[in-house]
Structure 1
Amino acid sequence: MEFINFLKFLWKHKNLLIIIPLVTVIISFFLVKNLADTYVSKSQIATGIIDESRHLLDKETNSSAQQQQIAQSFSNLIEIMKLKKLINQVSYQLILHDLTSNTPFKKPSKLFQGMNQAAREHAIEVFKRKFQRMEPLDYYNKDQNGLNELLREMKYDERNLREDLNIVRDEDSDFISVSFQSANPQLSAFVVNVLCREFINYYTNTIRQNETDAVTFLGNLLNEKREALNRKTAQLQNYKIENGVLNLEEQSKGIFDQIMVYNDRKQQAEKDVASNNGALAAINAKFDPKDRSYIEATLNKYNTAVVGTQEQLHALTDRYVRSNFAPQYKVQIDSLTRQLEREINLTSDKYITNPLTGKDALVAQKITLEVARDLAKYGLNAIDRALGELNAKFNRLVPFDATVKTYSFELDIASKEYLEVLNKYNETNLKSTFSIKLRQVDLATPDAAEPSKKMLLIILAGMGALVICVVILFAIYFFDETIKLPTELVAQTSLPSLGYLNTVTGGTLDLRKLWDVEHRDKMKHFKELIRSIRFEIDQELKGEKVISITSLAHHEGKTVLALSLAYSYSMINKKVLLIDGNFYNPTITNTAQPHLYLEDYFKNTPSNYENVSGTTTVIGNHGGDVTLLELSDEKFISTRFAELKNKYDVIIVETPALSTLNKSKEWILFANKVVAVFEANKPVKKSQKEDLNYLRNLEGKFAGWVLNKASLPED
């Protein structure tokens, strides 16, 4: 609904929407008809960033490049190309061309034409020097500032060149496009070619210098790391030679293994000694002193042989242990062991024990156990000495191992640093050999003029004006708080509506003439609306007769409504009395020229009772600063209204506006229903809120609003 209303609002201002765009189109036509044709020259620069044929040796590195890195590389190249120093190079070349050529690119400016030969030569010298050194002009130097002013007048300065210069990457390709547009095709091609050449030279020299510095730095660093690695290697070798260290890890491992073997043998020997001592203790407990002396006396000769064999066995066992258990000693030990067993058995066979006892076997067993125990004890001592020697050797290796590990750790760090720098050096050297090499794929050439955009500019100007008008009208419509519809009036006042009246232009207050004009559609619609309002008022009156017509402000249309209602009621054969209660503006009185006036009728004098006849339809007033209750008291006025109700079917009273305070409210005291008129296309003011509250407090006495001069469809 709001959109439809907005369209209606636009249609109401259709002349504005037609005239303004039309005027804009006409003005645009005269502005653009003399515009010069534009010529665009374009060139492309191959970067090699994503060209696989130029990354054969570093393909692996290039394949891992992410799209973001590639986009960043192109962005860096484009921003370098837009550097002020490069644009200045183009400016210098342009002005030098115009200063030295008979066919300049542009028409000389006033400052250019005013230069004499000496000034030209000086300008050429300065511009050449600035171009060779890639230096900007010094604005604080009076001489150079004048040359800069010359560039601005010729529009060769950086700001003007940037406006027509376009540098972009061609979608996802490997090329950067450079284009320039101007009114001279030679100028466009010249700017593009100079900028591409200067950019390639600047970038190439910068990259080459950076790569050379990087390779030189890494080369020097590589030599330092190589020398440090050689020093650490020589230091470790000298230490090993000076201390006789061959392979500490293998040596320490061998000694440790021997210590473990001797520990095992020691545990076994200790076990044998303990077991043999226990067995001997048990055997000794079975002999008494007499048996022992007998045995020692009889076996002395054979014991001597056993003891000698035992000593040989002890010496051989000692050599066996010291030789780290060499196998050849094991054979000799086994032979002596068997010999010792035979000698022990011989003592058992040749001599017997005391006949009184049967302990000869125990004696032989005892001797065998004693021999085994002694062998185990002597072997234990030899093992302890060997363990002491091995532990001493192992302890001597500990400080050597710590020092060697320190040297080895330092050597390992130096080696890693050297390899890292070497890899970086090789990588940088390779990249410097196959680094990105920019090249201008094709030279910019003068091209034909671009298709004329004059018609497009004219159309855009017209459409832009139309859009601006629509936007402005929309803003006016959106922020417009004026009331145009009865529903809006009801929404803002919270009071009911009886209907509305359309605008009738060129009318007259002669009701008969207005009512009889049949050929005017607006008048027909007006009559239908009056009839509708009359019907709604009848429904509200419910047999009552007095209708008071008021408004919030003056000149809202009360008189037209009152006269129209009076005439409409007379058309249905009702006796109607129209009272002009508006002392402030007695329009009805001035129009109807009645014979009876309020000041005469409502005065409490006997002579006035006969002044009203049944045929009187209008009671006027003399105007002035007077109110109803100032004419007579409330009781007498009520009596007068009662007489009028007996004579007339409908009594219509036009009252002053509510802004007159009590002047309107005094009339409303005697009315049965109150009708308020509100003129359309006006807002409800904040100052009128008190009057609205008054109407709300009337409750059932207020019949409703009549929206006057509304612009609504008739169907």
Structure 2
Amino acid sequence: MEQHRQNQRMPNRRDRPTGPRQPETNNALTPKDIIAILRRHVWLIISLTIIGFMIGGVSWFLLLRYSPKYSASTFIKVLSPAEKDPTAFGRGMATKDVQFGYRQSIAQLIRRPSNLSALLKRDKIQDTKWFKQFGEIKDKRLGKALKDLKKRFGVFADRDAEFVVVSMSCGDAKEAALIVNEMAKMFIATQGTTKRKEVAEKLARFNEQLARLEANLSAAERAMDEVRKRWGFMDLEEGSFESTTTITLNRLELEQNELFLEISEIAATVERFEEQVAGPIPTQVSQQIERDPIMLNLGQQLSAMEARLAGSLTKLGENHRVIRELQEQKKAIEQERELRRIEISERTRQANLNNAKDRLTILQDKYEQLEIIRKEAEATKRDYDLAIVQYKQRLAIRDERKERLNEIKRSIEKLKIMHDDPETPKVQFVGDAPVPLEVSSPKWQVFFPGGIFLGFMIGVGISFLIELLNDLVRTPRDVGRFLHVPLLGVIPDADDDDNAYDVDQFQVLRLAPYSFVSESYRRFRTNLKLSNAETNAKAFLISSAAAGDGRTTVAVNLAMAFVTENKKVLLIDANFWKPNLHTIFKENDSQDAETEQYESEFGLSTLLAGLCGYQEVIRPSGTEGLDIIDAGLLPVNPAELISGPQMEQLIKHQRQIYDYIIIDAPPVLLVGDVKTLAKYVDSTILVFNAATTRRGIAIRMVGELRTADANIAGCVLMAVKAMKGGYFAEQFKLYNELQKAQMAHSV
């Protein structure tokens, strides 16, 4: 059965889960990181801030005593750039932006190099101490003075007020005011002369235009007289009434139209009368016939005859001779009456027809005469219209020249007023600049806060520079940000723990079990177990990048942490170059020379070389549950021994006996044995020292182990300082309070 357990093969490493991998993290600084950096370097920042305050104060005092500056200023009032009508009340207005732009242009004019050079040539300016300080050579002195004046002389256009501020700074208060006043007066005078010269030039041009327009106006009036004489019309002036020719033509056309209508009516009457002559007697003619005296007499006779006939017929009968005579007389009267009616009808209709024809002839003759007169009027009207067109053309030319002449006269009057107007230059001198009573520079309100701010910013900059130049793996965040390896434990620096600072760190878990350092190892043990819960890992390899990183300390204390859980642990020292376990775990203090010889002869090297068995190399550590295999003598070929089958058989065999096997390996970057050992164990644990391990070395170590297909369970960060704003700043305080509470409760 024992042989069967020894021959069991280790599980396939590629089938085991490699443990949780931390997510990629952003390398940018977070607000929390920035605050932590500032807290860690708070005293540096405070010191530099105080130094900056002192430097600012000293600079202010020295400048105030040896190089004070006085600033004098005055105002130049800038009027609205809108053209003002001098004949009207009020002032021309412009928009606020236009006025501000005009003030800016005035400010630029004041600062022109030509104005500055002209200012320097004035006698009062050349007599100042400020001007004399630039030497005696005229050309060089003017150049230096101009260069210095550009720096010290300022012109500012106020946006809300109608002023341009002119200022000057120099070492003498009176000279500063003098320079400002001289510039303001010189510019006002120059601007007034320039503007009045411009007005005078405009006035001369307008007078020339006035003379030309008067000559052109006389020529236009002569052309109008020529049109009137040529056509013979004197009523060509445009007015509200029509001309005589037009009125006559309109009257003739109206009479002709009325006559045409009358002719049409007469022609229709003639046609109607012609139809009546050939047709039945119309009603009107019948009425005229009935009114004829003869017809009336015959009608009376006929009525009397009918009455007589009716009376005789009753008495005599129809066949009586008298009756027949009366009937014949009646018939004769009726025939005569009919003949008279026909005669009157024919005569009346013919007379009406003849009268209508005569009227038609008269009207037609009159229409022809009107047509002749109308054509003559139309010809006259055409001549009149042509004359009107020519006259209006010349009249428009005359009116245009006359209006232009009036405009020129008004403009000349305005320019004459503007030439003598004091507001023509658009700038006015408000008053002399007062002599400044206080220095303008230096001001303590600037130097003291400026020194404080500068010192503070330099302190902050140096703090961040220190942090950026420091490439150590110092914090858990550095592990996650740069290495991307699961962090299993963070061990604080023992100097920060009052309970562990004077204790042997190899056995701090046993000697100071209630210290925060010991609690950190126990937390590391718990995290390791949780990360390997699924794989049930039992063999662990502990390694670091370089010697002195705390690799052996972590291995020993991890073994102690497992032992406190009543686990059986085998601790193997595989560092042939610098073994430590034989000095940490001694059998007893009274060992003799023979025992020392035994310790030096038996160890892992002799076991791998086949010079001894397991029982000879495994020894107790002095702590129950913890056994040790020392490194033994340094072999000639350590790499070959590590890669041989004996090492793999050792781990397989002891896996059946011990709950955990912990191997203290040499540094990864110094020897290649670690890569071989990593193949025999379940998981590899890396140790980074916050005080010595650099990021590049740590990244290289992780990369080489992953290239060798090592199962990296995680890492441990050793010797982490409790920095201000760091990882353990509050942890120590809370843990100490908790320990005090537990001890009080246990008592």
Could you state the TM-score of these two structures normalised by the residue count of structure 1?
A: 0.72
Matched AA of 2:35: L
Partner of 1:500 in structure 2?
A: 490
1:254-293 → structure 2 map (5 Å cutoff): 254-272=247-265, 274-279=267-272, 281-282=274-275, 285=278
Shift of 1:206: 0.9
Distance 1:369 1:193 in 2: 111
Partner of 1:203 in structure 2?
A: 191
Alpha carbons of structure 1 residues 670 and 686: separation in structure 2 relative to 1, 3 Å: closer
Partner of 1:664 in structure 2?
A: 674
Partner of 2:327 in structure 1?
A: none
Structure 2 residue 642 is matched with structure 1 residue 611: no
Pairing partner for 1:421 from 408, 411, 424: 408
Alpha carbons of structure 1 residues 284 and 210: separation in structure 2 relative to 1, 3 Å: same
Matched AA of 2:219: R
Matched AA of 1:17: I
Partner of 1:253 in structure 2?
A: 246
Distance 1:463 1:162 in 2: 30
1:200-599 → structure 2 map (5 Å cutoff): 200-248=188-236, 249-272=242-265, 274-279=267-272, 281-282=274-275, 285=278, 359-434=346-421, 435-436=423-424, 438-450=427-439, 453-454=443-444, 456-471=446-461, 473-474=463-464, 484-487=474-477, 489-490=479-480, 493-504=483-494, 510-511=504-505, 524-540=515-531, 544-551=537-544, 556-570=549-563, 574-583=567-576, 586=579, 595=600, 596-599=602-605
Q: Kindly indicate whether the alpha-carbon contact (under 8 Å) linking 2:483 and 2:699 is maintained by their aligned counterparts in 1.
A: no
Distance 2:671 2:406 in 1: 104
Alpha carbons of structure 1 residues 354 and 163: separation in structure 2 relative to 1, 3 Å: closer
Distance 2:278 2:466 in 1: 135
Q: Kindly indicate whether the alpha-carbon contact (under 8 Å) linking 2:618 and 2:629 is maintained by their aligned counterparts in 1.
A: no
Shift of 1:576: 3.7
Shift of 1:500: 0.9
Partner of 2:71 in structure 1?
A: 40
Distance 2:42 2:603 in 1: 50
Partner of 1:653 in structure 2?
A: 663
Distance 1:508 1:210 in 2: 97
Unaligned 5+ residue runs, structure 2?
1-28, 237-241, 281-338, 587-598, 621-626, 722-726, 733-747
Which piece of structure 1 moves more, 641-650 or 622-631?
A: 622-631
Q: Secondary structure at the residue paired with 1:611?
A: helix
Partner of 2:606 in structure 1?
A: 600
Distance 2:547 2:251 in 1: 129
Shift of 1:109: 5.1
Shift of 1:473: 3.7
Alpha carbons of structure 1 residues 584 and 517: separation in structure 2 relative to 1, 3 Å: closer
Higher relative contact order at CA 8 Å, sep ≥6: structure 1 or structure 2? Answer: 2
Distance 2:670 2:480 in 1: 23
Structure label with greater radius of gyration: 2
Structure 2 residue 36 is matched with structure 1 residue 8: yes
Distance 2:561 2:228 in 1: 135
Q: Secondary structure at the residue paired with 1:448?
A: coil
Distance 1:372 1:423 in 2: 71
Matched AA of 2:187: F
Pairing partner for 1:192 from 171, 180, 186: 180
Alpha carbons of structure 1 residues 81 and 541: separation in structure 2 relative to 1, 3 Å: closer
Deviations 1:162-193 (A, max 9, x none): 32223334664444332322221222122112
Matched AA of 2:356: L
Deviations 1:43-80 (A, max 9, x none): 333445499xx998654442x32212222232222222
Q: Kindly indicate whether the alpha-carbon contact (under 8 Å) linking 1:482 and 1:682 is maintained by their aligned counterparts in 2.
A: yes
Could you state the TM-score of these two structures normalised by the residue count of structure 2?
A: 0.70
Distance 1:150 1:428 in 2: 44
Distance 2:273 2:671 in 1: 146
Deviations 1:185-237 (A, max 9, x none): 22212211211121111111111111111122123223322332232123113
Matched AA of 2:644: D
Q: Kindly indicate whether the alpha-carbon contact (under 8 Å) linking 1:580 and 1:619 is maintained by their aligned counterparts in 2.
A: yes
Alpha carbons of structure 1 residues 44 and 592: separation in structure 2 relative to 1, 3 Å: same
Shift of 1:653: 0.9
Sequence identity (%)? 15
Structure 2 residue 655 is matched with structure 1 residue 641: no
Q: Kindly indicate whether the alpha-carbon contact (under 8 Å) linking 1:629 and 1:666 is maintained by their aligned counterparts in 2.
A: no
Alpha carbons of structure 1 residues 14 and 402: separation in structure 2 relative to 1, 3 Å: same
Pairing partner for 1:80 from 109, 128, 132: 109
Shift of 1:639: 2.7
Shift of 1:277: 4.3
Shift of 1:3: 2.9
Distance 1:11 1:354 in 2: 149
Shift of 1:533: 0.9
Alpha carbons of structure 1 residues 233 and 468: separation in structure 2 relative to 1, 3 Å: farther
Q: CA RMSD in A?
A: 4.1
Unaligned 5+ residue runs, structure 1?
99-103, 113-145, 288-351
Matched AA of 2:129: F
Distance 1:193 1:359 in 2: 126
Distance 1:186 1:355 in 2: 140
Matched AA of 1:561: V
Q: Kindly indicate whether the alpha-carbon contact (under 8 Å) linking 1:628 and 1:667 is maintained by their aligned counterparts in 2.
A: no
Q: Kindly indicate whether the alpha-carbon contact (under 8 Å) linking 1:169 and 1:175 is maintained by their aligned counterparts in 2.
A: yes
Alpha carbons of structure 1 residues 8 and 150: separation in structure 2 relative to 1, 3 Å: same
1:18-33 → structure 2 map (5 Å cutoff): 18-33=46-61
Distance 2:555 2:486 in 1: 19
Partner of 1:330 in structure 2?
A: none
Q: Kindly indicate whether the alpha-carbon contact (under 8 Å) linking 1:548 and 1:668 is maintained by their aligned counterparts in 2.
A: yes
Partner of 1:673 in structure 2?
A: 683
Alpha carbons of structure 1 residues 58 and 42: separation in structure 2 relative to 1, 3 Å: farther
Q: Kindly indicate whether the alpha-carbon contact (under 8 Å) linking 2:506 and 2:557 is maintained by their aligned counterparts in 1.
A: no
Deviations 1:374-394 (A, max 9, x none): 222222222222222222222
Partner of 1:91 in structure 2?
A: 120
Q: Secondary structure at the residue paired with 2:718?
A: strand
Shift of 1:261: 0.8
Pairing partner for 2:164 from 151, 155, 176: 176
Q: Kindly indicate whether the alpha-carbon contact (under 8 Å) linking 1:48 and 1:436 is maintained by their aligned counterparts in 2.
A: no
Q: Secondary structure at the residue paired with 1:21?
A: helix
Alpha carbons of structure 1 residues 444 and 110: separation in structure 2 relative to 1, 3 Å: closer
Distance 1:186 1:263 in 2: 102
Matched AA of 1:196: A
Distance 2:221 2:636 in 1: 125
Q: Secondary structure at the residue paired with 1:450?
A: coil
Q: Kindly indicate whether the alpha-carbon contact (under 8 Å) linking 2:71 and 2:169 is maintained by their aligned counterparts in 1.
A: yes
Q: Secondary structure at the residue paired with 1:536?
A: helix
Deviations 1:332-360 (A, max 9, x none): xxxxxxxxxxxxxxxxxxxx999889522
Distance 1:589 1:88 in 2: 93
Alpha carbons of structure 1 residues 657 and 429: separation in structure 2 relative to 1, 3 Å: farther
Alpha carbons of structure 1 residues 216 and 190: separation in structure 2 relative to 1, 3 Å: same
Matched AA of 2:228: K
Distance 1:95 1:429 in 2: 36
1:616-631 → structure 2 map (5 Å cutoff): 617-620=628-631, 622=633, 626=637, 630-631=641-642
Q: Secondary structure at the residue paired with 1:33?
A: helix
Distance 2:256 2:510 in 1: 144
Matched AA of 1:91: L
